[in-house]
Amino acid sequence: MRELLITGGQAFILLLISPLIQGIIKKAKARLQRRRGPKIIQPYHDIIKLMRREAVSSVNTSWITTVVPYIYFSAFLIAASIIPVSGQKGLMLGDIIVFIYLFALARFFLALAALESASAFGGMGSSREMMIASLVEPVFAIALFGMVALSGSTDFNVVAGAGQNISGVLAFFGLMVVTVTETGRIPADNPDTHLELTMVHEGMLLEYSGRQLGLLHAAAWLKQTILLVLLVHLFLPAQEGSGLWVIYLSLFGKLTMLGLILALIESLTVKMRLFRLPHLMASGAIFCLASVLINNL
């Protein structure tokens, strides 16, 4: 029961704060561009509005379109509960490998749903997303497995703080590339556009509306928060023995900081051409490989 409370509570808290992180990033980006920008709590309003709206879907769709938002959301909710933020033993839901593959699970189903409406936009998003995935997953794997090799276990509790050394700095850069790409941000993708030349993630969501879209947005923000939590867990974990309040407050502070970095990256760089992405991922891979090499020398 206690385990359920710890795990479920953590997933719930991360779910609750994830729109806020998104709001902070948006606000920071707007300020950096000398705009006033939407309110920080705007994402909550968006979700509530979408949840009330009627959902419309194409006549070409089948049960896949209906179940995918649920599966997508559940996958990230579980991923959110896997990283032991509080350092206490929760439910045994997974380790680093399961974590990576939960992303694959969510992606697989969303890419299928994107193909359902028969519109070319969905197909475009789906096909590009799977291409990008094939570039991201190896980098993600090298970065995380480098940490695993260093600590000798795939358990998240053991890996906590494994990046606090010289090689960790390199791995951090590699994981940052992964985070930017996975969250669909500039330079890999542009979250603010609905232009067919650039869209990837938004292309897949194009045919969704109402509560289904709300669920998918919430899941995507949760995914962004999880990736940031992962960075915190590997590089800046809370001190052992701190109280729960301290842990969650400091976590929130660190997430805000990383969110600001993301906003800064987004304001300083330009969107890359899709086929320049392999170069970006290759640089990420080289950082991670260098960190692995340093560990082993």
**Under 8 Å between Cβ of 197 and 275:** no
Closest distance of CB 289 from another protein, Å: 8
DSSP-assigned letters across all residues of 95-133: -HHHHHHHHHHHHHHHHHHHHTT--HHHHHHHHHHHHHH
Q: How far is the CB of 215 from another protein (least distance, A)?
A: 8
Residue 74 or 267 having the CB closest to another protein = 74
Distance, CA of 167 to CA of 280 (rounded, Å): 20
Please list, in sequence order, all residues whose beta carbon lies within 8 angstroms of the beta carbon of residue 26, skipping any fewer than 6 positions away.
Answer: 37, 38, 42, 43, 263
Separation of CA 82 from chain center: 14
Neighbours of 272 (CB within 10 A): 15
Orientation of helix 96-115 relative to helix 210-235, angle to 10°? 160
Tokens found for residue 238: 């809370």
The residue within the footprint of another protein, chosen from 48, 92, 197, 268 (CB under 8 A), is 92
| Nearer residue to another protein within complex by CB, 211 or 271 | 211
Q: Which residue has the tokens 């990736």?
A: 227
Closest to another protein by CB, 136 or 255: 136
Confirm or reject binding of residue 273 to another protein (CB under 8 A).
no
Burial of 290 (0-12, 13-18, 19+ CB in 10 A): middle
84 scored as a contact of another protein (CB under 8 A): no
Q: List Cα–Cα distances, 142 to 67, 96, 131, 213, in angstroms.
A: 32, 12, 18, 33
Which parts of 188-207 interact with another protein (CB under 8 A)? 207
Q: Which is nearer to another protein, 118 or 257 (CB)?
A: 118
Q: How far is the CB of 221 from another protein (least distance, A)?
A: 16
Q: Measured from the CB atom, is 57 or 250 closer to another protein?
A: 57
What mask of x and - would describe binding to another protein in positions 226 to 265, judged by CB under 8 A? Answer: ----------------------------------------
Q: Which stretch binds another protein (CB under 8 A): 32-40, 106-114, 166-174, 242-250?
A: 106-114
Q: Is 171 in the site for another protein (CB under 8 A)?
A: no
Question: Per CB under 8 A, which region of 91-99, 164-172, 187-195, 246-254 contacts another protein?
Answer: 91-99
Is the Cβ of residue 27 or residue 128 nearer to another protein in the bound state? 128
Closest CA to 227 of 219, 239, 217: 219
- Report the residue from 5, 41, 48, 64 that binds another protein according to the rule CB under 8 A: 64
Q: Which stretch binds another protein (CB under 8 A): 12-20, 107-115, 237-245, 264-272?
A: 107-115
Q: Which of residues 25-54 bind another protein (CB under 8 A)?
A: 52, 54
